[in-house]
């Protein structure tokens, strides 16, 4: 999509959208070229620019825009970055409905938020129906907005470009997440990571199954036992000139389809289990952004990739596996597989790279989804500074987090009667499932400063935000990029 900034309105456009704010002169942001429309609207007391109000005008004059939409934004003092992103998304959704290119007046209150405006425009224009054909495909293509013209006295091109670059990474993550297993299996996801690495001149290392076996990653390999596609682990490394000190490591869960194994899943959400590699998709695209945005940090992304299926060779309930760290794990539930592939990847990262900080991103627990729904990811950490930094990034990006408890008792609950650890503790009747899962992962980070993002609810949604679409959201790409930039 092309986004351009101009200083004056071309009156013969198809669609003009004008955000307005409450107050005595609430239509002051309207261009002088449509003063006749504004004069008429001032007499209409039903529109006063309250938040969420829309007023659609069709002037029926060849000297004015064909359609004009006034967007009520509420009080200007309440307007922040998230509102700018949502404002742009509202405008884009209306343009798609009208099957029209968009001319968009940028109010003075939004002059510091051109990046967010570009993000909102691009992300709201995303079409998840990639695999439709024929008339359905044509219908979706007809609604795609090709050109957006912003009316502003500012020269926002660098911020716009930056916003479009970030949004493109989010949408690439969405495409990976939305693809079904037959079109995004472990080999395909590995190749997608390779492409991101190549396109962004990252160092790419792929550990194949034989190498993983040699490293004795028994937990990771246990999950892969039921699959006819070999496990692999992709390592992307961004190390710009001048970057010194220990790296920051991101680890993303890459389960390309999760059947639950012999603890077989049931219910309507089974079809959504293609999304269980969302953490990997996020980490890959954050590494790409590190290069594109010139982030001056040494960052490494690790994605352990497999599916979790059933079959004669598949892992059985109560199996005991030996992890890369040497700790043994009793597999009480084959559907708690994410923590098994992550624990080996995280222990490997600590041993191999000695990171200054490590963050894992995973669609890990239904418990977190039940607790926080689709709007908040669960945040766990062993470091207060990381908690505060991630919260600040959350506020800036509107990718919301909620800090959840990680108590020593949660760690005790993950001790096994027969091995060192158990991947699920049935004795607690499923209580605090997100916290006990995080406690399990903490066993593999040593003394490393670490944070865990449980994105089970936010990665794949039925009730999207204004700039999202149903299914994959790419949640975490903007959050982690902002966090890394501001370290």
Q: Could you tell me the CATH number of the domain that includes residue 394?
A: 3.40.630.10
Chain centroid to Cα 68, Å, comes to 33
- Is there a domain that residue 331 lies in? yes
Q: Is the CB of residue 477 less than 8 Å from the CB of residue 393?
A: no
Residue 185: closest CA among 303, 277, 301: 277
| Cβ count near 435 (within 10 Å) | 24
Cα–Cα distance measured from residue 51 to residue 163, given in angstroms and rounded to the nearest whole number: 24
How many separate domains does the chain show?
2
**Is 109 in the same domain as 144?**
yes
67-94 burial by CB neighbour count: b if 16+ within 10 A, else e?
bbbbbbbbebeebebbbbbbbbbbbbbb
Q: Select from 155, 188, 209 the last residue of a domain.
A: 155
**Is 111 in the same domain as 176?**
no
Domain that holds residue 277: 165-485
pLDDT computed for residue 22 by the predictor: 96
**Is 308 in the same domain as 420?**
yes
**Is 350 in the same domain as 404?**
yes
Task: Single out the catalytic residue among 137, 162, 265, 292.
Answer: 265
Return the SS3 of 90. helix
**Is 371 in the same domain as 471?**
yes
Residue 172 CB partners (closer than 8 Å, separation 6+) = 196, 281, 285, 288, 474
**Is 29 in the same domain as 110?**
yes
Task: Single out the catalytic residue among 225, 274, 339, 465.
Answer: 339
**Is 123 in the same domain as 233?**
no
Q: Select from 98, 120, 155 the last residue of a domain.
A: 155
- Is there a domain that residue 12 lies in? yes
**Is 150 in the same domain as 295?**
no
Chain centroid to Cα 377, Å, comes to 10
- Is there a domain that residue 465 lies in? yes
- Is there a domain that residue 230 lies in? yes
Q: Is the CB of residue 400 less than 8 Å from the CB of residue 475?
A: no
Sign, CA torsion 381/386/389/393: negative
**Is 346 in the same domain as 214?**
yes
User: 339 catalytic, yes or no?
Assistant: yes
- Is there a domain that residue 160 lies in? no
Structure-token pair, residue 418 = 């027969």
Q: Select from 102, 128, 155 the last residue of a domain.
A: 155
Cα–Cα distance measured from residue 221 to residue 229, given in angstroms and rounded to the nearest whole number: 12
Q: Can you spell out the DSSP letters for 211-276?
A: HHHHTT-HHHHHHHTT-SS--EEEEEEE--TT--SSPEEEEE-EEEEE--TTS---SGGGGGGGGG
Residue 342: closest CA among 366, 358, 320, 319: 358
- Is there a domain that residue 82 lies in? yes
Helices of type H across 295-432: 338-353, 366-372, 384-397, 408-413
**Is 151 in the same domain as 21?**
yes
User: 85 catalytic, yes or no?
Assistant: no
**Is 9 in the same domain as 138?**
yes
The tens-digit pLDDT sequence of the chain (487 residues) is 999 999 999 988 999 999 999 998 999 999 999 999 999 999 888 899 999 999 999 999 989 999 999 999 999 999 999 999 999 999 999 999 999 999 999 999 999 999 999 999 999 999 999 999 999 999 989 999 999 999 999 999 999 999 999 999 999 999 999 999 999 999 999 999 999 999 999 999 999 999 999 999 999 999 999 999 999 999 999 999 999 999 999 999 999 999 999 999 988 889 999 999 999 999 999 999 999 999 999 999 999 999 999 999 999 999 999 999 999 999 999 999 999 999 999 999 999 999 999 999 999 999 999 999 999 999 999 999 999 999 999 999 999 999 999 999 999 999 999 999 999 997 777 899 999 999 999 999 999 999 999 999 999 999 999 999 999 999 999 999 999 999 9
Cα–Cα distance measured from residue 486 to residue 273, given in angstroms and rounded to the nearest whole number: 33
**Is 150 in the same domain as 171?**
no
Structure-token pair, residue 251 = 């680890």
CATH number at residue 111: 3.40.220.10
């Amino acid at each position: 999509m092309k986004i351009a900034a101009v200083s004056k309105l071309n009156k013969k456009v198809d669609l003009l959208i004008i955000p307005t704010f409450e107050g005595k002169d609430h239509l002051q942001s309207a261009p002088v070229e449509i003063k006749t429309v504004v004069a008429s609207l001032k007499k209409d007391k039903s529109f006063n620019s309250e938040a969420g109000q829309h007023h659609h005008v069709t002037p029926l004059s060849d000297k004015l825009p064909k359609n004009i939409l006034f967007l009520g934004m509420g009080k200007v003092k309440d307007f922040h970055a998230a509102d700018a992103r949502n404002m742009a998304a509202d405008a884009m959704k209306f343009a798609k409905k009208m099957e029209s290119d968009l001319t968009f007046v940028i109010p003075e209150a939004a002059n510091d938020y051109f990046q967010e405006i570009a993000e909102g425009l691009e992300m709201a224009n995303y079409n998840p129906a990639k695999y439709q054909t024929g008339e359905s495909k044509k219908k979706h293509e007809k609604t795609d907005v090709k050109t957006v013209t912003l009316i502003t006295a500012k020269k926002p091109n660098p911020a716009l470009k930056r916003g479009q670059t970030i949004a493109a990474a989010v949408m690439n993550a969405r495409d990976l997440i939305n693809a079904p297993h037959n079109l995004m299996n472990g080999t395909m996801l590995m190749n997608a990571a390779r492409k991101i690495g190549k396109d962004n001149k990252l160092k790419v290392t792929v550990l194949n199954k034989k190498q993983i076996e040699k490293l004795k990653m028994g937990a990771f390999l246990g999950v892969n036992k039921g699959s006819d596609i070999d496990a692999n682990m992709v390592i992307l490394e961004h190390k710009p000139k001048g970057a010194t000190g220990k790296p920051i490591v991101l680890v993303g869960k890459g389960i390309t389809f999760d059947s639950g194994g012999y603890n077989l899943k049931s219910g309507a959400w089974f079809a959504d289990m293609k999304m269980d590699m969302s953490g990997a998709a996020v980490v890959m695209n954050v590494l790409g952004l590190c290069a594109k945005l010139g982030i001056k940090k040494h960052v490494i992304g690790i994605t352990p990739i497999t599916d979790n299926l059933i079959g004669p060779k598949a892992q059985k309930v109560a199996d005991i596996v030996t992890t890369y760290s040497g700790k043994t794990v009793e597999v009480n539930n084959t559907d708690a597989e994410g923590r098994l592939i992550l624990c080996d990847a995280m222990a490997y990262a600590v041993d191999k790279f000695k990171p200054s900080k490590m963050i894992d991103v995973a669609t890990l627990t239904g418990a977190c989804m039940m607790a926080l729904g689709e709007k908040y990811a669960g945040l766990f950490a062993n470091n207060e500074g990381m908690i505060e930094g991630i919260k600040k990034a959350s506020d800036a990006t509107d990718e919301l987090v909620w800090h959840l408890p990680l108590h020593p008792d949660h760690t005790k609950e993950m001790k096994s009667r027969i091995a060192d650890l158990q991947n699920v503790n049935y004795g607690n009747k499923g209580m605090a499932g997100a916290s006990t899962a995080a406690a399990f992962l903490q066993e593999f980070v040593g003394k490393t400063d670490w944070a865990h993002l449980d994105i089970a609810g936010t990665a794949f949604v039925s009730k999207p935000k204004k700039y999202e679409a149903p299914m994959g959201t790419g949640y975490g790409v903007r959050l982690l990029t902002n966090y890394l930039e501001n370290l």
